[in-house]
Chains A and B, each alone.
Chain A
Amino acid sequence: MSTFLGMPTAPPRSPYGTGHLRGDRTFPEAAHDELRNEQLRRNLGRATRTIRTKRLDVTGELPDWEQLRDAGSAIKTDTMNRLPELLEQLERKVTERGGTVHWARDGVEANEIVTRLIRATGSSDVIKVKSMATQEIGLNEHLEAAGITPYETDLAELIVQLADDRPSHILVPAIHRNRDEIRQIFLDEIPGVDPDLDNVPARLAAAARAYLREKFMTTRVAVSGANFGIAETGTLTVVESEGNGRMCLTLPDTLITVMGIEKVLPRHQDLEVFLQLLPRSSTGERMNPYTSMWTGVTPGDGPQDFHLVLLDNGRTAALADAIGREALNCIRCSACLNVCPVYERAGGHAYGSTYPGPIGAVLTPQLAGMHAAKNDPNSSLPYASSLCGACFDACPVKIDIPSMLVELRHQHTEQSGTTAEKLAMKAAAAVMSRPTLFTAAQKAASLGRAVGGRDGTVPRLPAPFGGWSDSRDLAAPPKQSFRAWLSSAEGAETMRAAAEEGAGRTADTPEEDR
């Protein structure tokens, strides 16, 4: 007797058309506009340069920084390899301590769960701690449509929200705005703000603070994300800089935390590693100002109603992919954004996703797919990199992002059927795998000298090389290839003379000077 168990089905990606894991145009198209935003270029250049220096200072001062990175990588790898059991352990511990755990297979489910929970409290307002997971699923838009007003309480998130804008950086969401713009946004959007408000940062912060204090004191429900969830104890952790998180996590009656399932850590002791890795990689600080930890419900202290929403939204699909699994190790520090030369120029919006930069170019296609529609913009993300490798060096959990981008490019070409590019690549490989054809092609290339101008450069090139000649000259091909020179009388004579000199040198020079 045999039992047919069926073919395992691939876990689903984040559903197409939901949340913020896909832009509406390709990276090069979006970058075309962003590159012309002088303000953005200046802000990004200044901010990323400052934070790069700070990060190098605080990572360089630790003698065991490399071992910490190894430990972080090992703990996350172990976590991903036994994610199901750890999540069940987390659920058990949170429930034991008086919390309620909800499982959301995608953003749609998570949004519905959160909306239902808020409605049950009777509140039509909710305060929010900056959270990538709720940004990813578009929770704010969903709540607004349901008649619930979400208030972002992180200063930069507030600016973005008031301007009806989208974050452009994981850690510094309003990095694309300057103080004059922020002043205008506050004047336009904060009720009762002092009409004489100027652009001094301290006074801008004070205006936001006065506005937010009132929200903290009167709103009975908060929504947060989580940096870490400890399976062993059921403890959730949020790290932040402004104290708004601490307010949201302690003052309301009801706290709803939306956590991506990859944020779980096995043991409380693992925080020893991650609370060193995260702030140093992220803000370039030895420690972030506020670290809040809570476990279920504590009678008489803090929210008396706690809900944990565990979000999949393509994470199980990523887990099933060798490189997706490694991408889930990301702790959202944004170090890779700050060192990325492509991110520094094009900015976060060009990626079209909640997760921009190098890790976003890997994570976004893993969570949401890159072939969900014809000319899916996500399929341009793995190519949004010069493969310079700075991200790999900066990553606190040693994610080999450049290799993963190359791997995703391969997945893309394998999925894409026959394209003009693939035919060109096949043709190039066919020529290059036959030395005689290659030599003939080289001779044809040297005929290209004829198109060279008087200064020896080639003028405008045809597609797909036109982008090259917009900003760069190309030297006309040389008269002779190297191999043609080597087999010429001149080449033979030059090499013979060099060898003669070499023989003399070997004979008279002591080893260490050679």
Chain B
Amino acid sequence: MRIGLFATCLGDTLFPEAVKSTAVLLARLGHDVVFPPGQTCCGQMHVNTGYQREPVPLVRNFAEQFGDTSIDAVVMPSASCAGSVRHQHEIVAERYGDAALRAGVATVKAKTYELSELLVDVLGVTRVGAYFPHRVTYHPTCHSLRMLRVGDKPLRLLRAVEEIDLVELPEADACCGFGGTFALKNSETSTAMLQDKMHHISGTKADVCTAGDSSCLMQIGGGLSRIRSGTRTLHLAQILGSTRTAPYALTEAAL
């Protein structure tokens, strides 16, 4: 399958390891990974902060970069960006776009997936050949759980990882407090939410807290690093990308 990889602006710039793992994993599974070089950002931050005119060029650019019919599916290591493409792009296009944009958005939306959806639903694989001999707890991000409804797909992928010690996270479905610009505009409430999330993570005594969104992991990892917790964060793609021949080397740093 020819898969268009959307790195997301955050992943491309600040968390490239999660994107590398995604690219390598899909190639290792025998798929043709293409990276349209003109890609930038899905515009989620703009829309969620209340700006819908400003991201029109971003929505248009996304549709143009991935609209190519030779791309069978578009994948991104982020549920919230996939949610933006699937739920918000049409709102922006409907309100401030033209007929061409609306058509382009509809085409791309139909083939856009978050990583676990692509693996389990489209490629029909849960055993990806991963090896990760560490204690791991999984935080289901809000947009993966309640916007995309990925359900237990990420957990099915994790359960199939060799040598993994997967422990359940109490009150897993509670938000970590990130929420994009919410973490800045309401940083104290966001921090109160984060404290409870960290309390539950610490209780699992996991080496790693994983999730499908680098943004939420930036919040959780930032908090864990600040309190010098023994747990660090790692994107789901990096665990799935760790193999016996090229295992992920766990370091002390929380971030």
Q: A residues bordering B, Cβ < 8 Å?
A: 27-28, 31-32, 35, 41, 341-342, 345-346, 382-390, 392-393, 403, 406, 408-413, 421-422, 425-426, 428-429, 432-435, 438, 441-442, 445, 455-457, 464-465, 467-468, 470-475, 477-478, 480-483, 485-486, 491, 494-495, 498-499, 501-503, 505-506, 511-514
Q: Is B12 in contact with A457, judged by CB distance below 8 angstroms? A: no
A32-B188, A341-B175, A498-B28 as given contacts; A409 in contact with B50, CB under 8 Å? yes
Query: Whole-angstrom distance between the alpha carbons of A406 and B48 in the complex?
Result: 6
Q: Is B51 in contact with A435, judged by CB distance below 8 angstroms? A: no
B residues near A465, Cβ cutoff 8 Å: 184
B residues near A502, Cβ cutoff 8 Å: 27-31
B residues near A495, Cβ cutoff 8 Å: 23-24, 27, 33
Query: Whole-angstrom distance between the alpha carbons of A429 and B175 in the complex?
Result: 27
Identify the interface centre among A438, A442, A495, A498: most chain B CB within 10 Å of its CB. Answer: A498
Mark out the residues of chain B between 190 and 238 whose CB falls within 8 Å of any chain A CB in the assembled complex.
Answer: 190-194, 218-219, 221-223, 225-226
B residues near A457, Cβ cutoff 8 Å: 225, 255
Q: Is B222 in contact with A386, judged by CB distance below 8 angstroms? A: no
Q: 18 pairs across A/B with beta carbons < 8 Å?
A: A31-B189, A345-B193, A383-B182, A386-B180, A386-B182, A408-B50, A412-B50, A433-B40, A464-B184, A468-B187, A471-B187, A473-B255, A474-B255, A475-B222, A477-B13, A482-B7, A514-B29, A514-B124
Q: Is B46 in contact with A425, judged by CB distance below 8 angstroms? A: yes
Residue of B nearest to A350 (CB): B189
Query: Whole-angstrom distance between the alpha carbons of A371 and B43 in the complex?
Result: 26
Mark out the residues of chain B between 146 and 188 whose CB falls within 8 Å of any chain A CB in the assembled complex.
Answer: 146-147, 173-175, 177-188
Q: Is B146 in contact with A389, judged by CB distance below 8 angstroms? A: yes
Q: Is A388 in contact with B175, judged by CB distance below 8 angstroms? A: yes
Q: How far is the CB of A431 from chain B (nearest CB, A)?
A: 8
Q: How far is the CB of B31 from chain A (nearest CB, A)?
A: 7
Q: Is B219 in contact with A472, judged by CB distance below 8 angstroms? A: yes
Q: Is B125 in contact with A514, judged by CB distance below 8 angstroms? A: yes
Residue from B27, B41, B145 in contact with A499 in the complex, judged by beta carbons closer than 8 Å: B27
Q: Is B54 in contact with A426, judged by CB distance below 8 angstroms? A: yes
Q: Is A486 in contact with B35, judged by CB distance below 8 angstroms? A: yes
Q: B residues bordering A, Cβ < 8 Å?
A: 7, 9, 11-17, 19-20, 23-25, 27-33, 35, 37-41, 43, 45-52, 54-55, 57-58, 61, 87-88, 123-125, 127, 129, 142-143, 145-147, 173-175, 177-194, 218-219, 221-223, 225-226, 253-255
Query: Whole-angstrom distance between the alpha carbons of A433 and B58 in the complex?
Result: 5
Identify the interface centre among B29, B40, B46, B193: most chain A CB within 10 Å of its CB. Answer: B40
Residue of B nearest to A391 (CB): B146
Q: How far is the CB of A162 from chain B (nearest CB, A)?
A: 30
Query: Whole-angstrom distance between the alpha carbons of A173 and B219 in the complex?
Result: 33
Identify the interface centre among A342, A387, A393, A470: most chain B CB within 10 Å of its CB. Answer: A387
Query: Whole-angstrom distance between the alpha carbons of A46 and B66 in the complex?
Result: 47
Q: Is A435 in contact with B142, judged by CB distance below 8 angstroms? A: no
Query: Whole-angstrom distance between the alpha carbons of A412 and B222 in the complex?
Result: 30
Q: Is B189 in contact with A35, judged by CB distance below 8 angstroms? A: yes
Instruction: Tell me what chain A mostly uses at the interface: helix, strand, loop, or mixed.
Output: helix
A residues near B183, Cβ cutoff 8 Å: 386, 467-468
Residue of B nearest to A463 (CB): B184
Q: Is B194 in contact with A471, judged by CB distance below 8 angstroms? A: yes
Q: Is A505 in contact with B174, judged by CB distance below 8 angstroms? A: no
Q: How far is the CB of B68 from chain A (nearest CB, A)?
A: 16
A residues near B38, Cβ cutoff 8 Å: 435
Q: Is B40 in contact with A503, judged by CB distance below 8 angstroms? A: no
Residue of B nearest to A387 (CB): B179
A residues near B129, Cβ cutoff 8 Å: 505
Query: Whole-angstrom distance between the alpha carbons of A32 and B189 in the complex?
Result: 8
Residue from A27, A388, A422, A475 in contact with B14 in the complex, judged by beta carbons closer than 8 Å: A475
Q: Is A383 in contact with B255, judged by CB distance below 8 angstroms? A: no
Residue of A nearest to B174 (CB): A341
Residue of A nearest to B35 (CB): A486
A386-B179, A473-B225, A494-B24 as given contacts; A467 in contact with B188, CB under 8 Å? yes
Identify the interface centre among A32, A393, A457: most chain B CB within 10 Å of its CB. Answer: A457
A residues near B179, Cβ cutoff 8 Å: 385-388
A341-B175, A471-B194, A513-B127 as given contacts; A501 in contact with B28, CB under 8 Å? yes
A residues near B192, Cβ cutoff 8 Å: 35, 41, 345-346
Residue of B nearest to A438 (CB): B40
Q: Is A409 in contact with B188, judged by CB distance below 8 angstroms? A: no
Residue from A456, A480, A482, A514 in contact with B253 in the complex, judged by beta carbons closer than 8 Å: A456
Q: Is B47 in contact with A406, judged by CB distance below 8 angstroms? A: yes
Taking A390-B142, A409-B50, A412-B50 as given, write out 6 further A-B residue pairs in contact, using a Cβ cutoff of 8 Å, ordered by the A residue number: A27-B186, A345-B189, A383-B182, A426-B54, A467-B190, A473-B255
Q: How far is the CB of A472 from chain B (nearest CB, A)?
A: 3
A345-B189, A425-B46, A486-B35 as given contacts; A481 in contact with B16, CB under 8 Å? yes
A386-B179, A505-B30, A514-B124 as given contacts; A482 in contact with B189, CB under 8 Å? no
Residue from A35, A386, A422, A429 in contact with B188 in the complex, judged by beta carbons closer than 8 Å: A35
Query: Whole-angstrom distance between the alpha carbons of A413 and B20 in the complex?
Result: 36
